[in-house]
């Protein structure tokens, strides 16, 4: 397997909105920039498909990237760093070594899956995942979908699926009505554009039942999901469906910050005003520093790109805009905080780690994540904990104190090359 090495002033891992913005502005300051993206094309989960409906701002940034001097490596997963200035990345033809003076981590988020009886049945999916499947051609027309969990992603996914022919039976939002009303009111001054966006999405969902203070407790079916039991804490009822699309929360991808020993608190990478982490020369931008959405990701990416490109004065001009987006993020975190009931949904025999078939009952016997991993192999299967680690942390209150290369699943040849 061929190895190649290239040296850059700045390397950016992740080509979502924050990574694209960081790479563009660093390159525009005259730096040699590499942008690594593990999927087929830049954009992250929201801007990936140029053929689909993406906002004008996405086209602007994707054009800016195309017309820049940034070396974009798609289908390239950064998986290890022998030292802070050298990355190893796997691409279809082999392993690349990327030397860099400055590194920007823009690795974004993934969906949090919460285990409940029946959650491993076929057609129980992440809400973002079902949206992504539909974007790539999966037939959803006429299918009855229950969308459940929490946060704006529920409405975004439901609206997309409905526009593509799905019959949204019901949206079950676990947050209570009062919290949502307060958040909606706060949007009028924190982020009026988000309010307008939300009103548009609600219009798409006219006639769909939106139930607040309501969550799934079990999915049922023989070969795939046929119905879901929902609860509002007082009563339970069962709803027939062809798909159950769940989105409880987005959680930052912390594998890279963990590997480099960047300071992480409350599940977020800690950064200074220039988005520099506790490790000198390593910056972090976007949702990995706290879930705040694509507007915040763009601003933070620009700040990190200017700072890594040696233009901190340009970065400082964006501080006020970042403060506004952070206030929005704090409001969102408060409004959609997960209720305790969701931590108690798994039964003894509910599978929590679906790669290794490890049940809640077996995991709950342990006091630490390390002990549970060593004794049960939970989080150690092919997905390397990407699916269950978030729920292990939330359900049992454990912290993940180990990040080792490869940070993402990698071919054996890449490790030995």
Ligand X SMILES: Cc1cc2nc3c(=O)[nH]c(=O)nc-3n(C[C@H](O)[C@H](O)[C@H](O)COP(=O)(O)OP(=O)(O)OC[C@H]3O[C@@H](n4cnc5c(N)ncnc54)[C@H](O)[C@@H]3O)c2cc1C
Establish if 282 lies at the interface with ligand X (CB under 6 A).
Answer: no
Of the candidates 155, 154, 168, 157, the residue with the CA atom closest to the CA atom of residue 131: 157
Establish if 391 lies at the interface with ligand X (CB under 6 A).
Answer: no
Q: Specify which residues 252 forms β-bridges with.
A: 109
Q: Specify which residues 227 forms β-bridges with.
A: 220, 240
Of the candidates 352, 112, 377, 134, the residue with the CA atom closest to the CA atom of residue 247: 112
For residue 286, the minimal CB distance to ligand X (Å) is 2
Of the candidates 115, 110, 400, 399, the residue with the CA atom closest to the CA atom of residue 251: 110
Establish if 36 lies at the interface with ligand X (CB under 6 A).
Answer: yes
Taking CB under 6 A as the criterion, the residue among 9, 12, 14, 173 binding ligand X is 14
The two structure tokens encoding residue 96: 């690349």
The interface region with ligand X, picked from 60-68, 139-147, 269-277, 290-298 by CB under 6 A, is: 290-298
Taking CB under 6 A as the criterion, the residue among 286, 309, 379, 390 binding ligand X is 286
Taking CB under 6 A as the criterion, the residue among 10, 13, 65, 259 binding ligand X is 13
For residue 387, the minimal CB distance to ligand X (Å) is 13
The interface region with ligand X, picked from 43-51, 166-174, 218-226, 276-284 by CB under 6 A, is: 43-51
138/130 Cα distance (integer angstroms)? 9
Which CB, 220 or 327, lies closer to ligand X?
327
Of the candidates 60, 18, 14, the residue with the CA atom closest to the CA atom of residue 41: 14
The interface region with ligand X, picked from 32-40, 237-245, 303-311, 409-417 by CB under 6 A, is: 32-40
* Cα separation values, 381 from 7, 131, 358, Å: 34, 26, 10
Establish if 406 lies at the interface with ligand X (CB under 6 A).
Answer: no
Helices H, strands E: what count in the chain? 15, 21
Establish if 77 lies at the interface with ligand X (CB under 6 A).
Answer: yes
**Which parts of 150-169 interact with ligand X (CB under 6 A)?**
153, 156
Taking CB under 6 A as the criterion, the residue among 227, 231, 253, 410 binding ligand X is 253
240/252 Cα distance (integer angstroms)? 33
Binding site for ligand X (CB under 6 A): 13-19, 36-39, 44-46, 77-78, 106-111, 128, 153, 156, 250, 253, 286-287, 293-294, 297, 408
């Amino acid at each position: 397997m061929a190895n190649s090495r290239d040296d850059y002033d700045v390397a950016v891992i992740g080509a979502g909105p924050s990574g694209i913005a960081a790479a563009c502005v660093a390159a525009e300051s005259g730096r040699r920039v590499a942008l690594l993206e593990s999927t087929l094309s830049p954009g992250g989960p929201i801007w990936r498909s140029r053929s689909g409906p993406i906002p004008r701002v996405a086209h602007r940034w994707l054009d800016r990237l195309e017309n820049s001097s940034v070396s974009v490596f798609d289908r390239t997963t950064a998986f290890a760093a022998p030292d802070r200035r050298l990355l190893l990345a796997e691409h279809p033809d082999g392993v690349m070594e990327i030397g860099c003076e400055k590194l920007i981590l823009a690795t974004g988020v993934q969906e949090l899956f919460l285990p409940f009886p029946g959650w491993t049945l076929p057609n129980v999916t992440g809400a973002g995942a079902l949206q992504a499947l539909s974007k790539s051609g999966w037939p959803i027309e006429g299918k009855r979908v229950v969308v459940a969990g929490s946060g704006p992603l529920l409405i975004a996914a439901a609206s997309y699926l409905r526009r593509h022919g799905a019959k949204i039976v019901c949206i079950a939002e676990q947050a209570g009505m009062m919290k949502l009303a307060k958040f909606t009111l706060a949007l009028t001054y924190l982020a009026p554009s988000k309010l307008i966006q939300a009103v548009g999405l609600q219009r798409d969902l006219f006639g769909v039942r939106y139930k607040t203070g309501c969550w799934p407790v079990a999915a049922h079916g023989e070969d795939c999901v046929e119905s879901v039991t929902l609860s509002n804490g007082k009563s339970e009822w069962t709803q027939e469906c062809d798909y159950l699309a769940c989105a409880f929360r987005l959680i930052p991808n912390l594998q890279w910050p963990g590997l480099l020993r960047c300071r992480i608190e409350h599940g977020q990478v800690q950064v200074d005003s220039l988005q520099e982490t506790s490790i000198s020369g390593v910056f972090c931008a976007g949702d990995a520093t706290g879930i705040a959405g694509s507007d915040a990701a763009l601003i933070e990416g620009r700040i990190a790109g200017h700072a890594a490109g040696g233009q901190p004065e340009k970065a400082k001009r964006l501080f006020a805009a970042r403060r506004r987006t952070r206030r929005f993020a704090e409001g969102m975190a408060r409004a959609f905080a997960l209720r305790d009931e969701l931590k108690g949904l798994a039964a003894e025999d509910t599978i929590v780690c679906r790669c290794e078939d490890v049940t809640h009952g077996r995991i709950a016997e342990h006091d630490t994540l390390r002990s549970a991993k060593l004794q049960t192999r939970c989080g150690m299967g092919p997905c390397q904990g990407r699916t269950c680690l978030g729920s292990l942390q939330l359900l049992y209150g454990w912290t993940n104190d180990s990040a080792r290369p490869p940070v993402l699943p990698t071919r054996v040849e890449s490790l030995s090359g």
